[in-house]
Every structure is written in C-alpha cells, then in structure tokens.
Amino acid sequence: MTLKQKQIVETAQTLFFRHGTKRVSIEEICKTASVSKVTFYKYYKNKLDLIKFIRDSLIDKGFAQFDLICEQDISYREKVNQMTQWRMEFFSQMKGDFIEDILSLQDIKSKIKIRMIKNINTAQERGEIRKEYNPELIWMVSEKLGELVTEGIWKDAFNDYGEYQKQMRNLFFNGLLEEDK
C-alpha cells in the first residue's frame, strides 16, 4: 500500500468510525487526508469501493482473531467469552452507524456462515454444543439476531453496542433459564 493510499484508508476509517459511511463524502476524505480527488480515484472507483476495502480489512482482522481463538485448546464457552470480549473491544471504537453500514453489505455473509458452521460442527464433535441442534438452524438464528444490528433495532434498548453484544451472546449461549440448583 502506498503512503497516499494509506492516508486515504486511515482517514476514511477514522471518519467512518466517527460518523458512519453515509455522512462522509469523498471530498471530506480527500481534504482531511490531504490528497486530491484524482489520487483518490487512482485507488478506488468510488466511496463504496473504499468502504468495501476497509470492511474487508476489518473482516480479515476479525477472522484472524476468530481463528486464533478457535485454535486454542480451551472450552467452547471460554472461546465464546473471548470472542465476545474481543468483539466488544473491537466495535467499541466504532459508532453504531458504521457497524450497521458495513454489516448490511451482503457479500460477506457467506464467508461468515462457512466459518461459523465449521466452528459449530467442531464444538458439537467435542461435545460442547448439543448435537441435536442443526448447525444450519444455529446459523439462521444468529443471522436473524444479527439483523437487530443491521436494522439498528438494538439501539431501542441499549446505548452501548458492547453491552448489547455481551447480553445477546449470554442470552443466545446460556438461555433464559437459571441453572437448576
């Protein structure tokens, strides 16, 4: 990546994290990054192209962390706890609008689904997730829960994305009922 391209990406990411992608213009990115529009268009076709580049970089970073956690010789419950902690820290630097903007892009969902199904199958083989649940069903439920984020519905109950994420994971993995005593 050239210095100019790095300036564009870092500036855009900072602006997107702060304001979401819809409110930030190419002009604002170029002005803040001290690059011309000609330089911008040398690297990116349009703003959506830049958004996808940043989103893909963030997703790659997330997948790398996901893989590191999955490779550890720890219980699935601890893996979920580590993933939740990492996601809360990762997403805490972003405004909710940006999270909704990048997650609403459909082309990444199949990549996430493949990884999640593989992770669920492995956990079932190890006896850490009940085998009577079809991995596809687990994926569909988590996908529907993800719509709370992409549609912004989570904001109706939470001011903080990290707290929403923590409670949602606890609800999904631990359920509503207290353990029998």
Each residue of 146-178: pLDDT tens digit? 788 777 788 899 888 778 877 888 888 778 777
Q: What is the pLDDT of residues 103-128, one digit of tens each?
A: 655 667 787 888 889 989 988 998 88
Given pLDDT bands bounded at 50, 70 and 90, which one contains residue 2?
very high
Confidence of residue 32 (pLDDT cuts 50, 70, 90): very high
Q: pLDDT tens across 64-104, in order?
A: 898 899 889 998 888 888 887 887 777 777 766 676 666 65
What the chain holds in terms of domains, given with CATH numbers, is 3-174 (1.10.357.10)
Write the DSSP string, 129-174: S-TTS-HHHHHHHHHHHHHHHHTTGGGGT-S-HHHHHHHHHHHHHH
Q: Mean of the pLDDT values across residues 9-29?
A: 92
Identify the pLDDT of residue 88.
74
What DSSP line would sit under 69-103, residue for residue?
HHHSSS-HHHHHHHHHHHHHHHHHTS-HHHHHHHH
* Residue 50 pLDDT > 90: yes
